[in-house]
Amino acid sequence: MGLPPSVITLFALLIGLCFGSFLNVVITRLPVMLMRGWRSEARASLELPEESSPRFNLATPGSMCPRCEQPIAWHDNLPLVGWLKRRGKCAHCQTTISAQYPLVELMGGLLAVVVVMLHGATLSAAFIYGACLTLLALAVIDFRTYLLPDILTLPLLWAGLVYQLLFQPLLLSGAVMGAIAGYLVLWSFYWLFKLVTGKEGMGYGDFKLLAALGAWLGWGMLPLLLILSAGVGAIVGLVAQALSPRLRGQPLPFGPFLALAGWVCLLVGNELIALYTSLLY
């Protein structure tokens, strides 16, 4: 006799909140780790002495306030609960803690619930949830730093191909074509935009992210993905510039909109296409 759906949903929510909490560590520390690595490589190329700095990775040091650097107690580090208990402030210096932390934790929990509701508590659902978490991390990192790290986009691409091989082997060729087409579409747009305007419209990370989504979704889903991401991006850009004129002419990261469209297509893309087809015919 299996567990009641309500228990499975609650369990998925709690596990998702914990994954969201870890995702905050990745979002905050990975760009710093990459910058340190690039700086170290540059110093080595210039034959400069290595910089001495404290160990810094996803595990060390422990969670601390970004301002006073006081360690965060375990009970203040509980997903959502800790932030709400302290009303979004550090227990020591009362510095406001970014709302990013509870929002990412909440998204991790909600995504887990949605995936389990749509796909059940299965191995394929775990793959899809992993893809959704990776997209969440990439969206926030790109929004904060204009970076889409290869260390996240490339494993996402390979995971998409492995997913197709394990669970939908008949669609594997379409996934390979989707990865190729996804990269080439934005690569072509990049060079066309650069030839016409002399400016770079996006970064290479966007090409790799769309290639990864093509591997997960197949080439047939790419038009819907591009329409959703470009459409939402254009609307957000116009609204942002209307509300804040100082943003006019400022670059807008495309990764968050690709990630949002990726979630939609991963979770309900086939249903949207079926609905669109039924309305046409």
Q: How far apart are CA 256 and CA 239, in angstroms?
A: 16
Dihedral sign for Cα atoms in the order 47, 48, 49, 54: negative
Can you spell out the DSSP letters for 64-127?
B-TTT-PBPPGGGSSTTHHHHHTTTB-TTT-PBPPTHHHHHHHHHHHHHHHHHHHH-SSHHHHH
Beta-carbon count within 10 A of 143 CB: 15
User: Token digits for 76?
Assistant: 């203040």
Question: Do 89 and 133 reside in the same domain of the chain?
Answer: no
- CA 211, CA 135: separation in Å to the nearest integer? 13
Whether residue 198 sits in one domain with residue 143: yes
Do 93 and 197 lie in one domain? The reply is no
Distance between CA atoms of residues 154 and 205, nearest Å: 10
226 touches 185 (CB < 8 A): yes
Residues 135 and 10 in one domain: no
129 and 66 in a common domain: no
- Over residues 141-163, the pLDDT tens digits come to 999 999 999 999 999 999 999 99
Q: What is the mean pLDDT of residues 120-131?
A: 95
Backbone angles phi, psi at 96, to 5 degrees: -65, 130
Domains contained in the chain, number? 2
pLDDT higher than threshold 70 for residue 1: no
pLDDT at 130 over 80: yes
> Of 115, 147, 163, which residue constitutes the final position of a domain?
115
pLDDT tier, 2 (very low <50, low <70, confident <90, very high otherwise): low
Same structural domain, 142 and 218:
yes
79 lies in the same domain as 205: no
**Where among 115, 131, 161 does a domain terminate?**
115
Q: Where are the alpha helices (DSSP H) in the chain?
A: 5-45, 81-85, 100-119, 123-145, 150-167, 172-197, 204-217, 222-243, 255-280
Contact partners, residue 77, CB within 8 Å, separation at least 6:
21, 63
CA–CA distance, 69 with 232 (Å, rounded to integer): 38
Q: Comparing 83 with 182, which gets the higher pLDDT? A: 182
pLDDT in tens, 220-258: 999 999 999 999 998 988 888 888 777 777 778 999 999
> Given this model, what pLDDT does residue 214 score?
97
The answer to whether residues 154 and 83 belong to one domain is no
Q: What digits encode the pLDDT tens for the residues 24-48?
A: 999 999 999 999 888 888 888 887 8
Domain with 87 in it: 1-115
Q: Are residues 137 and 67 in the same domain?
A: no
Same domain, 206 and 132: yes
Q: Are 107 and 25 members of one domain?
A: yes
**pLDDT value of position 93:** 82
pLDDT digits (tens, 9 = 90+) for 161-217: 999 999 999 999 999 999 999 999 999 999 998 898 888 878 899 999 999 999 999
Higher per-residue pLDDT: 70 or 33:
33
Q: What pLDDT, on the 0 to 100 scale, is given for residue 85?
A: 79
Listed residues 72, 100, 115: the one ending a domain: 115
| Residue 172 shares a structural domain with residue 139 | yes
CB-based burial of residue 218 (10 Å sphere; 0-12 exposed, 13-18 middle, 19+ buried)? buried
